[in-house]
Chains A and B, each alone.
Chain A
């Protein structure tokens, strides 16, 4: 079974530029998560989708971050414009539906904003 796929793996941009990340979850997983992990900290949930609906986006900085999950499969996370403090690893995870909340993570995208 293929795992969670993410691209790109690394991205370096200047502040005020825009960037987009892509995630493809494990086949059949209804729930998809985007996390931000700053060095030395635990993952912070940005947005959670159940199929193509948003379950939780309370910690998503909506003035600059947006995310979508069209057709309930893959997802994109966008930052526009980027700030220095957005430098982090962006992790995508998925879990199956129902009562299972075990999450499986992709390799992450390391973003550096200069």
Chain B
């Protein structure tokens, strides 16, 4: 059974700080990694995806992938109260078409 694990939080950071969200996965063959943001009562929204080792930056968001250690992280710079949401990590394994979601980490940005 493929697993994706996240700390459920809540992770509280002050406004303007860097929020660091982590995700580990069990299948070494995983090849695609996604971060979704889900506001309370809303559906998930794709914010980042990464396929290769290293960093990928998009505005205030940076996704980091380390396949050797089997973790993927999301950094949010200059955190804003509007970033307060649950962040879902999703992983696609090589050879499988299914994407498996973690349980999500709740982020609270304190003004």
Chain A residues with CB under 8 Å of chain B are 31, 35, 40-45, 48, 50, 55-56, 89, 91, 101-108
Checking B4, B99, B103 against A103 with a beta-carbon cut-off of 8 angstroms, the contacting residue is: B99
Chain B residues with CB under 8 Å of chain A are 4, 8, 32, 34, 42-46, 49, 88, 90, 92, 96-104
- In the assembly, what is the distance between CA of A106 and CA of B49, in Å? 19
| Least CB distance, A82 to chain B, in whole angstroms | 22
15 more A-B residue pairs beyond the given contacts A91-B44, A101-B92, with a C-beta to C-beta distance below 8 A: A40-B8, A41-B103, A42-B88, A42-B103, A42-B104, A43-B101, A44-B101, A45-B101, A48-B98, A56-B98, A101-B34, A103-B44, A103-B46, A105-B45, A107-B42
Judged by DSSP, the binding face of A is: strand
Judged by DSSP, the binding face of B is: strand
Q: Which residues of B contact A107 (CB under 8 A)?
A: 42-43
Contact B46 A55 (CB under 8 A): no
